[in-house]
């Protein structure tokens, strides 16, 4: 099974379908049921703010320093009580553990924001169909989660905290179940996709093109989760490298990273004829075609893939919009797709392409692209799009805000998803 504390190998990626917790009843034999003391316990003492949202956040704040221990205990409870669920998860649980706490934190953070919570959980519910998650799995995982929180958050835990988590968890699970049920009526849980082309661009970067076994609807700028036959139940995020094509083919730019199971398999092992599996499309880094605003696009490394797709999307809509692309890499060989972009620039006078090299000791994430953007402009009439390593995204957002682009016109997907999508 491997060391469960090993860092994630392929960026953020995805493990198996952990987030299936729907406690229809209070778990039996959980530590809290035996009367764990806490500030909201039987004595009625504790902080004045004992709203459900506050209790959720206080619980998470208490377990954050020991997140690894909590998630280990959670999975131990789950697999001990329900060993049949183990087959839904990957053999190695490293990435899975990291995503558990992040998903919990996100859900709890938005507990008092129903719209944001629903949007987040709807995406999770649809995406978890590919793991084989069913409604009957939710109570089991919910019991394990409540048991783990009760054991490791004694300062907060008590009847009020437990009731808050059970109520929140019931809501969370129902949103996910409903989303999966609705999605099942209109699309498969996953698509089979045959590799039809494999082009090596550098020793560690390949362009992989696949043909899905049935129509695959998506938008330029989105990404998907991908599973290889060599690592079952291990999914990683990759962005589509083109706008939708008439022939239905899909291309991905993949960089092999150290200890990256999926990325190394795709770069060094995949060949035409191999069959992969694709999850549903996701992501909101798409073009708003209702406006004539210019596009300012920052792509770092293989993050140039969705940027190229956005350029193709603008070209196919036939509207005259200014598009400025900054393509960054640490060294010259990192600009592996520059020729494609230069050909697009020759075909479309509204397109500008600026390669940005950063050979400094800090590498690209230290600020090469953001610094280059500051030197040009103005950008106040542009919508901004960023794709690349998480460090570059963070600094890029800061730079764009600094030059006057409002937050609502800066588009990128979550940093956790971006890490997987660009590696």
Position 14 scores a pLDDT of 38
Confidence of residue 297 (pLDDT cuts 50, 70, 90): very high
Confidence of residue 9 (pLDDT cuts 50, 70, 90): very low
The pTM of the full predicted model, rounded to 2 decimals, is: 0.73
Confidence of residue 98 (pLDDT cuts 50, 70, 90): low
Position 47 scores a pLDDT of 52
Per residue in 250-272, pLDDT (tens digit) is 999 999 999 889 999 999 999 99
Position 93 scores a pLDDT of 65
Position 82 scores a pLDDT of 92
Cα–Cα nearest to 204, from 303, 307, 302, 326? 302
Position 162 scores a pLDDT of 95
Mean pLDDT across 215-235: 94
Mean pLDDT across 134-143: 90
Neighbours of 398 (CB within 10 A): 11
Per residue in 70-90, pLDDT (tens digit) is 988 998 999 999 998 888 877
Residue 326 has pLDDT above 80, yes or no: yes
Position 389 scores a pLDDT of 86
Mean pLDDT across 232-246: 93
Find out whether 205 and 215 touch, Cβ atoms under 8 Å. Answer: no
Residue 11 has pLDDT above 70, yes or no: no
Cross-sheet strand order for the sheet of 191-202: 235-239, 223-227, 275-278, 191-202, 205-212, 250-255
Residue 235 has pLDDT above 60, yes or no: yes
Confidence of residue 53 (pLDDT cuts 50, 70, 90): confident
Mean pLDDT across 14-33: 36
Confidence of residue 299 (pLDDT cuts 50, 70, 90): very high
SS3 string of the chain?
Answer: CCCCCCCCCCCCCECCCCCCCCCCCCCCCCHHHHCCCCCCCCCCCCCCCCCHHHHHHHHHHHHHHHHHHHHHHHHHHHHHHCHHHHHHCCCCCHHHHHHHHHHHHHHHHCCCCHHHHHHHHHHHHHHHHHHCCCHHHHHHHHHHHHHHHHHHCCCCCCHHHHHHHHHHHHHHHHHHHHHHHHHHCCCCCCEEEEEEEEEEEECCEEEEEEEECCCCCCCCCCEEEEECCCCCCCEEEEECCCCCCCCCCEEEEEECCCCCHHHHHHHHHCCCCCEEEECCCECCCCCCCCCCCEEEEEEEHHHHHHHHHHHHHHHHHCCCCCEEEEEEECCHHHCCCHHHHHHHHHHCCCEEEEEEECCCCCCHHHCHHHHHHHCCCCCCCEEEEEECCHHHHHHHHHHHHHCCCCHHHEECCCHHHHHHHCC
């Amino acid at each position: 099974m491997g060391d469960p504390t090993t860092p994630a190998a392929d960026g953020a990626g995805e493990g198996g379908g952990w987030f299936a917790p729907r406690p229809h009843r209070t778990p039996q034999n959980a530590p809290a049921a035996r009367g764990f003391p806490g500030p909201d316990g039987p004595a009625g003492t504790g902080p004045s703010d004992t709203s459900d949202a506050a209790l959720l956040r206080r619980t998470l704040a208490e377990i954050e320093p020991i997140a690894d221990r909590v998630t280990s205990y959670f999975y131990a409870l789950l697999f001990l009580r329900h060993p049949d669920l183990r087959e839904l998860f990957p053999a190695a649980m490293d990435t899975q553990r990291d995503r558990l706490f992040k998903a919990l934190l996100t859900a709890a953070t938005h507990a008092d924001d129903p719209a944001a919570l629903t949007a987040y959980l709807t995406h999770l519910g649809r995406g978890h169909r590919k793991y084989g998650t069913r409604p009957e799995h939710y109570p089991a995982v919910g019991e394990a989660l409540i048991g783990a929180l009760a054991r490791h958050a004694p300062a907060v835990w008590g009847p009020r905290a437990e009731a808050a988590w059970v109520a929140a968890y019931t809501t969370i699970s129902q949103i996910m179940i409903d989303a999966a049920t609705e999605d099942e009526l209109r699309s498969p849980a996953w698509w089979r996709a045959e590799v039809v082309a494999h082009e090596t661009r550098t020793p560690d970067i390949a362009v992989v093109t696949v043909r899905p076994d049935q129509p695959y609807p998506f938008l330029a700028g989105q990404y998907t989760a991908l599973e290889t036959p060599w690592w079952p139940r291990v999914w990683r995020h990759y962005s589509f490298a083109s706008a939708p094509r008439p022939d239905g083919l899909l291309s991905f730019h993949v960089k092999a990273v150290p200890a990256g199971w999926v990325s190394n398999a795709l770069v060094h092992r995949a060949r035409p004829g191999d069959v992969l599996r694709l999850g549903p499309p996701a992501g909101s880094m798409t073009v708003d075609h209702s406006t004539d605003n210019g596009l300012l696009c920052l792509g770092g490394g293989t993050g140039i893939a969705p940027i190229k797709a956005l350029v193709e999307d603008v070209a196919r809509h036939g509207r005259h919009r200014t598009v400025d692309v900054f393509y960054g890499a640490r060294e010259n060989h990192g600009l592996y797709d520059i020729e494609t972009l230069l050909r697009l620039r020759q075909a479309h006078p509204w397109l500008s392409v600026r390669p940005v090299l950063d050979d400094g000791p800090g590498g690209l994430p230290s600020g090469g692209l953001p610094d280059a953007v500051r030197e040009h402009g103005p950008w106040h009439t542009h919508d901004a799009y960023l794709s690349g390593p998480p460090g570059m995204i963070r600094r890029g957002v800061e730079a764009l805000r600094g030059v006057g682009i409002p937050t609502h016109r800066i588009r990128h997907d979550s940093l956790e998803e971006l890490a997987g999508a660009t590696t």
